[in-house]
Amino acid sequence: MRTRFAPSPTGFLHIGSLRTALYAYLLAKHENGQFILRIEDTDQKREIEGSVDALKTTLKKFGLEWDEFYAQSERLDKYKKAAEKLVLDGNAFYCDCKGKNAKNDGYSLDLKDPCRNKKLTKGAIKLKVPDNKIISYFDFVHKKEISWNSNTVYDATLLKSDGFPTYHLAVAVDDIDMKITHILRGHDWLPSTPIHLLVFEYLAGNRPEIGHLTDILSAETGKKLSKRRDSVFVEQFIDEGYLPEALLNFILLLGWAPKDNREVYTLDEMIKNFDIKGFQDANPRFFREKLDWFNGQYIRKLSVDDLLIKLKLENTSKNKSIISLLQNRIEKLSDFNSLAGFFFDKPKVDTKLFGKNYKEHLTKAIEGIKAGGDLMEVIKQNNFKTGDFFMSLRIAITGMKFTPPISESIVILGKDETLDRLKILI
């Protein structure tokens, strides 16, 4: 089995594209096959400098290592030869449509281009779609036959007059040349499939198996994830403190289901358990709460030393104590700074957060800590309300109402630092 992930170098990696890459990787590796990375960079105007290296770096973060690498811009001669063969075989024709007779994308306004009868010898090359032909394939994701009448399919441009191929030609030539057995791609490419099926047929006589993945929907709007409305770029999630392993595990289940109800998988376990029959037909919803849950599970699995590295903290006894206190309380790496910031810097305390008796609480707390006594004994001796007392202490020491357990936090801060912070508020 040979699969491919074929992104365009036009920016950051979309979460849906990461899912496509993962499924293609798992399909191949489950069968001990090859996973190919192919950069579709024939549209030079849209390419963003540095995006290919960034893409490679991101895929490696997720463990999705490719066996072979190709760039379409280095294969232009292959596309030219394939297009010329299609013309020679009578399956394509030259076209010089310009101005009013052409759309902005270079395609003829009519489904059947008038240039097909002109017998031109130069210009763009377009596919000659046959009349009254049923074009069909079995979609292995949706598990059904999908078909079109060729009378509804337009004569698509295959090779532009500047010598660069369109997606329709390049994708088929590459998939044939690279011996791709299974194609996974986004649902938005479904309308173009009859064009590709014809090119496969004319160039090779056969084609890879094809599957169109479901759309990932926003949990809030119920619409397809949008760059304008939603967080959709993989790098954004990493910056927000999500672990690659957790994000990968989460998207695994956005469109694929295991035979049992298991949820947590390592990449090796994904490879072992991946089943082509597990693809789902319904569009999944992207629930951020579920992603947070997955991320929390993976954070809990880390050793203290590993978590220190991911948080870029020095390996000190104080930092280890802080990690041990917070590891079960954070869902994202970015949560650490907001919860643990007070351990490293004195907080700015808004006295409006305090209740009426906070100065009395802090005064007695200082006396108790100096004497080495138990804070619960301070509460008992002064007939304080436990919740009110510890809230005063919490705000004075951390500047916040919601923090890690305050007693353990005091131990980590140490007696002198704790007393210093309490005295400031008196």
Whether 107 is covered by a domain: the verdict is: no
Task: Give me the mean pLDDT over the 402-420 stretch.
Answer: 94
Both structure tokens of 3: 């699969």
Average pLDDT over residues 70-99: 92
Assign 341 to helix, strand or coil.
Answer: helix
Beta-carbon contacts of 340 under 8 Å, excluding residues fewer than 6 positions away, are: 322, 326, 404
**What's the pLDDT tens digit per position in 271-284?**
999 999 999 999 99
Mean pLDDT of 247-269: 95
Is residue 360, in this structure, part of any structural domain at all?
yes
Which tokens hold the place of 174? 């590459």
Model confidence at 47, pLDDT cuts 50, 70, 90, reads: confident
Are the beta carbons of 19 and 64 closer than 8 angstroms? no
- Cα 94 to Cα 81: distance, rounded to the nearest angstrom: 14
Task: Give Cα separations from 154 to 17, 91, 97, 135, 144 (angstroms).
Answer: 28, 13, 14, 13, 24
Is 168 contained in some domain? Answer: no
Given pLDDT bands bounded at 50, 70 and 90, which one contains residue 30?
A: very high
The answer to whether position 254 is within a domain reads: yes
Report the CATH number that the domain containing residue 226 is assigned in CATH: 1.10.1160.10
pLDDT at 110: 59
Terminal alpha carbon distance of the chain: 72
Tell me, yes or no, whether 222 and 295 share the same domain: yes
C-alpha torsion sign, points 29, 290, 286, 53: negative
Please say if the pLDDT value at position 100 is more than 90. no
Alpha carbon distance 355, 346 (integer Å) = 21
The model's pLDDT over 320-336, given as tens digits with 9 standing for 90+, comes to 999 999 999 999 999 99
- Quickly state the pLDDT bin for 144 (edges 50, 70, 90): very high
Q: With beta carbons less than 8 A apart as the criterion, state whether 203 and 172 touch.
A: yes
Count of domains forming the chain: 3
166-183 pLDDT tens trace: 999 999 999 999 999 999
Give 24's pLDDT tier (boundaries 50, 70, 90): very high
**What CATH number is attached to the domain comprising 391?**
1.10.10.350
What pLDDT sits at residue 171?
A: 96
Beta-carbon count within 10 A of 314 CB:
8
Q: Report, as an integer, the average pLDDT of 368-372.
A: 91
Q: Is residue 102 part of a domain?
A: no
Q: How confident is the model at residue 218 (pLDDT cuts 50, 70, 90)?
A: very high
Structure tokens at 74: 């280095």
Structural domain harbouring 365: 351-424
Angle value at C-alpha 269, between 264 and 274, nearest 5 degrees: 100
pLDDT score recorded for residue 229: 77
- Of all residues in the chain, what percent carry a pLDDT higher than 90? 85
Residue 157 β-bridge partners:
126
User: SS in 3 state form for 1-62?
Assistant: CEEEECCCCCCCCEHHHHHHHHHHHHHHHHCCCEEEEEECCCCCCCCCCCHHHHHHHHHHHC
Same domain assignment for residues 308 and 360: no
- Average per-residue pLDDT for the chain: 93
The pLDDT of residue 63 is above 70: yes
User: By mean pLDDT, which of 98-102, 166-170, 208-212, 418-422 is the weakest?
Assistant: 98-102
* 361 in any annotated domain: yes
pLDDT band of residue 205 (cuts 50, 70, 90) is: confident
Asked if residue 399 lies in contact with residue 348, where contact means CB atoms within 8 angstroms, the answer is yes
296 and 315 within one domain: no
Element (H, E) at 423: helix 415-424
pLDDT, residue 232, reads 87
φ and ψ of 259, to 5 deg: -70, -30
pLDDT at 105 over 60: no
17 part of a folded domain: no
Flag whether 271 is in a domain. yes
Position 248 pLDDT exceeds 60: yes
The mean-pLDDT minimum among 54-58, 115-119, 272-276, 279-283 falls in 115-119
Distance of CA 250 to the CA centre of its chain: 10
